[in-house]
């Protein structure tokens, strides 16, 4: 995957725009920080699931009982989820090739259970990617129709796949797309050295409204640029 050199000043400007937008963009992010601040437990899973679905509009509820099914499946899989997350506790994006391989391997284990409710038919790729992101914001990217379109604009159509109402979705399609998204984030953020990554985090933090500031990962910050870029392109 060839990724052109990103205009990082432009990225900074779009991130500042996101953070100064107020509701719904920035305040929704604040809510997700709070929802996941205590980690995943049997008591916090419903809050985390509902926060991702409601505040980031993933529409899991369009299938009857799907939200309840996702909560139950997540709680029953907590031990495995935590075991997999421990495998990547010392890794962050951008990662070296061995680290990237571990991130992809863990993503391939964790993403599929969130794609479909146990008794459901609808594949919830956007929900799965967003939920997985908040379990480890330094590693796993968000994929939705806005970020996917911006990535494909950068690297070529079809690199990142996302389902729509007229397509048949499969778990493998989602996993292949998500692996490409991880590689895009890793290569893009790999354009920055440590001091530039620190500056990116600083540029994200400063424009946030006082009293609501959160320190975000580089992965989270890059998603803001991807999202805002497509939002402006469509306006």
Residue 116 in any domain: the answer is: yes
Residue with tokens 């729509």: 164
- Is 235's pLDDT higher than 80? no
Residue with tokens 């959160």: 214
Residue 3 in any domain: the answer is: no
pLDDT given for residue 165 in this prediction: 60
CA 53-30-81 angle, to 5 degrees, is 55
Closest CA to 106 of 117, 125, 122, 90: 90
Q: What is the pTM of this model?
A: 0.93
- Is 99's pLDDT higher than 90? yes
Helix (H, G, I), strand (E, B), or coil: what is residue 57?
A: coil
Domain that holds residue 29: 8-234
Q: CB–CB of 57/124 below 8 Å?
A: no
DSSP character string of 125-161: HHHHHHHHHHHSTTTPPP--HHHHHHHHHHH-TTSS-
Predicted confidence (pLDDT) per residue in 50-86, tens digit: 999 999 989 999 988 899 999 999 999 999 999 999 9
Residue 201 in any domain: the answer is: yes
First to last CA, the chain: 29
Predicted confidence (pLDDT) per residue in 19-47, tens digit: 887 656 788 899 999 999 999 999 999 99
Confidence of residue 95 (pLDDT cuts 50, 70, 90): very high
Residue with tokens 């330094």: 138
Closest CA to 126 of 111, 112, 143: 143
- Is 120's pLDDT higher than 60? yes
pLDDT given for residue 22 in this prediction: 63
pLDDT given for residue 137 in this prediction: 96
Residue 146 in any domain: the answer is: yes
Residue 1 in any domain: the answer is: no
Residue 2 in any domain: the answer is: no
Residue 94 in any domain: the answer is: yes
Q: CB–CB of 185/219 below 8 Å?
A: yes
Helix (H, G, I), strand (E, B), or coil: what is residue 15?
A: helix
pLDDT mean over 125-144: 95
CA 120/CA 99 separation, integer angstroms: 34
pLDDT given for residue 23 in this prediction: 55
CA 204/CA 134 separation, integer angstroms: 17
Number of folded domains that form the chain? 1
Residue with tokens 């980690």: 39
Residue with tokens 């998603």: 223
Question: Omega of the bond prior to 183 within 30 degrees of 0, cis?
Answer: no
Predicted confidence (pLDDT) per residue in 152-196, tens digit: 999 887 788 877 765 667 889 899 999 999 999 999 999 999 999
Q: CB–CB of 60/66 below 8 Å?
A: yes
pLDDT given for residue 167 in this prediction: 64
């Amino acid at each position: 995957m060839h990724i052109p050199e990103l205009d990082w000043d432009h990225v900074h400007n779009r991130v500042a725009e996101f953070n100064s937008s107020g509701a719904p963009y920035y305040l929704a992010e604040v809510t997700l920080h709070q929802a996941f601040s205590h980690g995943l437990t049997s008591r916090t899973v419903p809050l985390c699931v509902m926060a991702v679905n409601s505040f980031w509009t993933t529409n899991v509820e369009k299938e009857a009982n799907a939200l309840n099914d996702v909560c139950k499946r997540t709680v029953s899989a907590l031990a495995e989820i935590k075991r997999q997350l421990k495998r990547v506790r010392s890794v962050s994006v951008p990662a070296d090739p061995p680290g990237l391989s571990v991130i992809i391997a863990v993503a391939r284990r964790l993403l599929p259970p969130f794609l479909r409710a146990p008794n459901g038919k609808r594949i919830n790729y956007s929900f799965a990617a967003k939920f997985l992101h908040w379990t480890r914001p330094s590693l796993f990217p968000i994929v939705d129709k806005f970020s996917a379109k911006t990535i494909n604009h950068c690297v070529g159509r079809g690199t990142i796949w996302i389902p729509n109402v007229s397509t048949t979705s499969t778990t493998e399609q989602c996993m292949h797309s998500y692996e490409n998204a991880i590689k895009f984030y890793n290569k893009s953020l790999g354009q920055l050295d440590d001091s530039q990554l620190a500056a990116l985090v600083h540029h994200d933090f400063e424009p946030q409204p006082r009293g609501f500031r959160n320190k975000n990962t580089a992965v989270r910050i890059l998603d803001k640029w991807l999202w805002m870029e497509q939002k402006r392109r469509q306006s």
